[in-house]
Amino acid sequence: MKLITYPDVEMMIIDLANVLAGELNNVLFHADRVTLALPGGTTPGPLYDDLCATPLPWDRVRVLPTDERLVAPDHPRSNEGMIRSRLLTGAAAAAQVVGLCPGADGIEGVSNRIGAALPIDILVLGMGADMHIASLFPGAPELEAALGPDAPPVMQVTAPGQPEPRITLTAPVLRGAMSTHILITGADKRAALDRAVELDDPRLAPVCAVLKTATVHWAE
Ligand SMILES: O=C(O)[C@H](O)[C@@H](O)[C@H](O)[C@H](O)COP(=O)(O)O
């Protein structure tokens, strides 16, 4: 794990947006398309506000939410909706979002749809103070299966304490990313990160599924 500590959140956002722009361009230098997996939640919005202004061939960028609440894309709690409103604007309006919201073809259909966008090239994750990433929550009955080497690429899971069930990319897909960034702020999440490093067990701290190869970006 590499940990970068920033003097403030604004500096962290500016730096990470630059890093992501560089990584996206590097992939696009030798590939037709690039898959960028992004979290929902409240932290990454300002990152998307910065990133969307980056001049790059956004029409060759596939954006994959790391997870989704089981709500319609136009619902205020939708991660896809948040990503569309904060990232798919300006230069980045031409990017393609591959959503996780199941249609009539259910989770099978989601799995088929995201297949063409895998493996992930560049992964950005948030983390909860309970050490969850995406919607891999400690204590969820489906966690063991979602962490396993034979997990399907995407699963519907329980999210303890959350208002609705979730759809999440599973650990093998997240671990398969070429580059992984974890974006966290505040003392609670910094303490949670230290706890995860100590536990070193994804069944107790799901972030451990990707931590060893991740760059963690943190500001108070
Ligand atoms: O659906 C979601 O909410 C996210 O994908 C989730 O994994 C998020 O990254 C963490 O819960 C941190 O959320 P905050 O950024 O709101 O603290």
Q: Please, where are the H alpha helices in 37-186? A: 45-51, 79-86, 106-115, 143-147, 171-175
Domain ranges in the chain?
2-219
CA of 108 to the centre of ligand 1 (A): 24
Q: Is 68 in the pocket of ligand 1 (CB under 6 A)?
A: no
Check residue 126 and give its pLDDT.
98
Q: Is 81 in the pocket of ligand 1 (CB under 6 A)?
A: no
Check residue 59 and give its pLDDT.
98
pLDDT digits (tens, 9 = 90+) for 115-150: 999 999 999 999 999 999 999 999 999 999 999 999
Check residue 94 and give its pLDDT.
98
d(CA 147, CA 136): 8
pLDDT digits (tens, 9 = 90+) for 176-209: 999 999 999 999 999 999 999 999 999 999 999 9
d(CA 216, CA 161): 25
CA of 219 to the centre of ligand 1 (A): 16
Q: Tell me the helix, strand and coil percentages in the chain, rounded to 5.
A: 40, 20, 40
Check residue 55 and give its pLDDT.
95
Check residue 85 and give its pLDDT.
98
Q: Is 119 in the pocket of ligand 1 (CB under 6 A)?
A: no
The residue whose C-alpha atom lies closest to atom 6 belonging to ligand 1 is 134
Please check whether residue 158 is in contact with residue 98, taking contact to mean a CB–CB distance below 8 angstroms. no
Report CA-CA distances (Å) from 172 to 11, 104, 136, 176.
31, 26, 12, 6
Check residue 136 and give its pLDDT.
98
CATH of 2-219, one of 3.40.50.150, 3.40.50.1360, 3.40.50.720, 1.10.3720.10: 3.40.50.1360
Residue 200 gets the label, from left (phi > 0), alpha (psi -120 to 50) or beta, of left
Does the pTM surpass 0.90? The reply is yes
pLDDT average, residue stretch 96-102: 97
DSSP string, 149-205: TT--SEEEE--TTSSS-EEEE-HHHHHT-SEEEEEEESHHHHHHHHHHHHH--TTT-
Which of these, 156, 153, 182, lies nearest to 170 by C-alpha position?
A: 153
pLDDT average, residue stretch 61-72: 97
Check residue 39 and give its pLDDT.
98
Query: Where do we find the tokens 């309970």?
Result: 130
pLDDT digits (tens, 9 = 90+) for 5-33: 999 999 999 999 999 999 999 999 999 99
CA of 67 to the centre of ligand 1 (A): 9
Q: To the nearest whole percent, how much of the chain has pLDDT over 70?
A: 100
